Structure 1
Amino acid sequence: MAQVLEFKLPDLGEGLTEAEIVRWLVEVGDVVAIDQPVVEVETAKAMVEVPCPYGGVVTARFGEEGTELPVGAPLLTVAVGAAEGSSGSAASPSSASSSLSSPSPSPSSGSGTESSGGSGNVLVGYGTGAPAARRRRIRPDRLDRAVAEAPVSVAPVVAAPVAEVLVAEAPVHEGPVPVVSPLVRRLARQHDIDLRRLAGSGPDGLILRADVDRAIRTAEETAAATARVQAPVAAVVAAPNGVAAASDAERIPLRGVRGAVADKLSRSRTEIPDATCWVDADATELMAVRAAMNAATGPSAGPKVSVLALLARICTAALARFPELNATVDTAAREIVRLPGVHLGFAAQTERGLVVPVVRDAHTRNAESIGAEIARLTELARTGKLSPAQLTGGTFTLNNYGVFGVDGSTPIINHPEAAMLGVGRIMPKPWVHQGELAVRQVVQLSLTFDHRVCDGGTAGGFLRYVADCVEQPAVLLRTL
């Protein structure tokens, strides 16, 4: 006998509490295998495909694409054992609940799945390793019959009430309402649908789930039409700042990556007393050194080295001299925490917004290694495949806003770090070189720092060392 199990949005780690549905990978009526990805969600950190720990027939999906759901909210329900010959075994409710708590560190940990019938994991990259089955659609009459006969173990779903639907063509039922499925009754109750006023499309007037879904859509369309009629009444609304705003003004929700950036920058401005110092530097020699590196040939010649990689290597050398800036502040304990290693973040602009991938243990890498890791993380950022772990844990950030064609900026510190180095565009400018006016490659460097961790002397010393390495790369070579 079939059993309907509910799969909830799991904890995706890194302190994330919600996710937005980007794309459903299955439809109602599809047969899914254990650990088959069923939905693609976007968190504040990355895009994630979420696999289902059950194998069976999808009987319901909760949330349309673009809907934001909290962790623990229902994602879909699966009729386990409803489809004859379906891929994946039936999962017990006990094993399902335990699978949502903590993912296993390796695929091999799911070796007991064959006996329990369910996956012990819900995150991408983990699971039993069972081969994914082809999507197969079940005939609607068989699906309705399987769901109707299934003992439901679905927790109540909190949903916004929908206005009661009155179907004029359908007579009011007298006596028992022709509904067999408890799932249909629950769905109607959650959306305030009067089943006595619905005309069933099943045999002998049996009310099916499709009938209730149709009534819900009708109610929503009626409510939307009413709102459109009433909208012109309020042509102008008062904005919070007192400025009149048109009623058709576009409102963009602050969620996903944009919302995470807004929260972090707001917290940075609220908690950190930041200050900024800047200096112009002659980058002509640095550019010449880079050109010589990339022009080298032979077995010892490695991949091309970018300007960002050289600046990153300079930053790690500067932080070794000024460890005060590789720190954070524990506000609760009122302590400055100096960090032993440098995990260097770099700002990357993508179609999804600004993200800051982190190069782990940058203090142990040379310029070539840092450059290769920056290139790898940048490609992942552009394709939206960065994991949450690759976007957290930074101790210092390098922000190359020069790629946008601007000379300078006062960047906001990436909370909870203590400093950020900003780099403007490198461009030809008149410059006094060896007592004579010449055209040189000049760049503006700016350092925004947390004034709690150090004073201006330390910040100025850090920035001056970076500028000296840019102007005279031999300064850095002496410490390698």
Structure 2
Amino acid sequence: MPQVLEFKLPDLGEGLTEAEIVRWLVEVGDVVAIDQPVVEVETAKAMVEVPCPYGGVVTARFGEEGKELPVGAPLLTVAVGSVEPEPSGITEAAEAEPSGSGNVLVGYGTGAPPVRRRRVRPEGLSAPAVAPVASVAPAVAVVPPVSASGASGASDGVRGPVAVVSPLVRKLARQHDLDLRQLAGSGPDGLILRADVESAIRSGAETPQESAVTDQSSAHPAGERVPLRGVRGAVADKLARSRREIPDATCWVDADATELMAARAAMNGAGGPGAGPKVSVLALLARICTAALARYPELNSTVDQEAREIVRLPGVHLGFAAQTERGLVVPVVRDAHARSTESIGTEITRLTEAARTGTLKPAELTGGTFTLNNYGVFGVDGSTPIINHPEAAMLGVGRIVPKPWVHEGELAVRRVVQLSLTFDHRVCDGGTAGGFLRYVADCVEQPAVLLRTL
């Protein structure tokens, strides 16, 4: 008989403890091959396709699209093992071979499965039919009846097993005083899913103990609740931590960007058609940042609070804020200090496209040492951005717009931009921060300043 193996959500690394199911790539009854992607999940870092280390027939899936699962929770079950010989010439393998690949998932381990014996189908023959394993029941943990507090036993005379796999589901039910025995599970074989519990909460399922509270609060209907999870949850956690831990300060200056824009136009006009990709304003500002950080390395650092040490970092991994449908993400240009303006621009374009399509890898969203935030694309002039923990500073750039400006002693219309620097006051004082920002502004106003210091 086939053996039903359970595949759990693997450790996705980077300190991630949960993932949201975005899209199932297989259905119950589908035949899957070893290392075939079976589900697409979204973590706080990126979208990831998860491959299954087992080959066989999918007998159950755990979790609906849009629901979060903790690492280690059951993801699906697969029926693997011997298949009876058929007239087509199937033979039994003499050796034992592993039932799964044990390969790593984008740098994360899936683990090596146990060794088993199996029958091998000669190459070119069709996969085993689903029918022989259709009767194999998914692995469902049957637990004793649970009271509202989560303890075993009966509270109202109703007894019987409760089909629950996820401890997260039981915890959610306890938090809302829901009796799981009163719920009808929508999963395989009546399995109670998180969606079932959430649906009961939304529909007003309650215990007698909370009736009085509901009656008293009925005159004040609750507002819409939006779960803080995925990218939005990660951003919320990081910003809150930044505010708790970093004593930040902000300084800003207006700069005449007319000459910078003229220099950009000259760069993009040189060489004619086919001369390569256009140089963006963001790429120019990024290159100015790397030059400024070489002069003021205090701002390319982090603070080891436990050791009470400032750690000045040897290279610049430049993050830039990118707004996507999934929320705000900060892709990182690796080794920006060793790149030209053109190279930085090419990498920014690649990472921006990956951010928009949701294909950024976790490694492309971590490890930044300094962030450039161009909020001018939203049509605003200024901001006091929150530092991207655990970095020490962030440069904000507003929109570049025509404004009245005194140029060479005369009032003129010039292209003006506001630059703001938010910095960790632990790593430097205002003099250093002001010096950094003034150098950036000088390069914006007179690009020759940058050329002189390269």
- Tell me the TM-score normalized by structure 2: 0.79
Residue 296 and residue 61 in structure 1: after superposition, are their counterparts in 2 closer, same or farther (change >3 A)?
same
CA positional deviation for 1:223: 5.2
Alignment correspondent of 1:55: 55
Alignment of 1:234-253 (within 5 A): 234=214, 237=217, 245-247=220-222, 249-253=223-227
* d(CA) in 2 for partners of 1:352, 1:134: 40
Alignment correspondent of 2:278: 304
CA positional deviation for 1:227: 2.7
CA positional deviation for 1:476: 0.3
* Percent of matched pairs sharing the same residue: 76
Amino acid at match of 2:52: C
Alignment of 1:418-437 (within 5 A): 418-437=392-411
Tell me if structure 1 keeps the 8 A contact 2:141–2:165.
no
CA positional deviation for 1:64: 1.2
Q: Deviations over 1:188-219 (max 9, x none)?
A: 8999999xxx9xxxxxxxxxx999439999x9
* d(CA) in 1 for partners of 2:278, 2:238: 34
Q: Tell me whether 1:406 sits opposite 2:380 in the alignment.
A: yes
CA positional deviation for 1:81: 2.5
Alignment correspondent of 1:461: 435
Residue 457 and residue 300 in structure 1: after superposition, are their counterparts in 2 closer, same or farther (change >3 A)?
farther
* d(CA) in 1 for partners of 2:198, 2:309: 57
Alignment correspondent of 1:27: 27
Tell me if structure 2 keeps the 8 A contact 1:29–1:137.
no
Tell me if structure 1 keeps the 8 A contact 2:80–2:99.
no
Tell me if structure 1 keeps the 8 A contact 2:162–2:180.
no
Q: Tell me whether 1:138 sits opposite 2:130 in the alignment.
A: yes
Alignment correspondent of 1:40: 40
* d(CA) in 2 for partners of 1:13, 1:188: 27
Q: Tell me whether 1:390 sits opposite 2:390 in the alignment.
A: no
- Tell me the TM-score normalized by structure 1: 0.75
Tell me if structure 2 keeps the 8 A contact 1:407–1:443.
yes
Structure 1 gap ranges (5+): 87-112, 164-184, 199-208, 239-243
Alignment correspondent of 1:78: 78
Alignment correspondent of 2:325: 351
Alignment correspondent of 2:4: 4
Which of 279, 290, 308 is matched with 2:253 structurally?
A: 279
SS in 1 for 2:204: helix
Alignment of 1:147-166 (within 5 A): 147=136, 156=141
Aligned residues: 404
* d(CA) in 2 for partners of 1:259, 1:433: 47
Amino acid at match of 1:289: A
Amino acid at match of 1:213: G
Amino acid at match of 2:423: F
CA positional deviation for 1:359: 0.2
Tell me if structure 1 keeps the 8 A contact 2:140–2:164.
no
Tell me if structure 2 keeps the 8 A contact 1:236–1:246.
no
* d(CA) in 2 for partners of 1:156, 1:356: 40
CA positional deviation for 1:157: 8.0
* d(CA) in 1 for partners of 2:265, 2:198: 63
* d(CA) in 1 for partners of 2:61, 2:387: 41
CA positional deviation for 1:59: 1.1
Residue 25 and residue 432 in structure 1: after superposition, are their counterparts in 2 closer, same or farther (change >3 A)?
same
* d(CA) in 2 for partners of 1:25, 1:159: 33
* d(CA) in 2 for partners of 1:65, 1:479: 53
Tell me if structure 2 keeps the 8 A contact 1:235–1:246.
no
SS in 1 for 2:243: helix
RMSD between superposed Cα atoms in Å = 3.9
* d(CA) in 2 for partners of 1:465, 1:210: 61
SS in 2 for 1:447: strand
Tell me if structure 1 keeps the 8 A contact 2:252–2:418.
yes
Tell me if structure 2 keeps the 8 A contact 1:188–1:212.
no
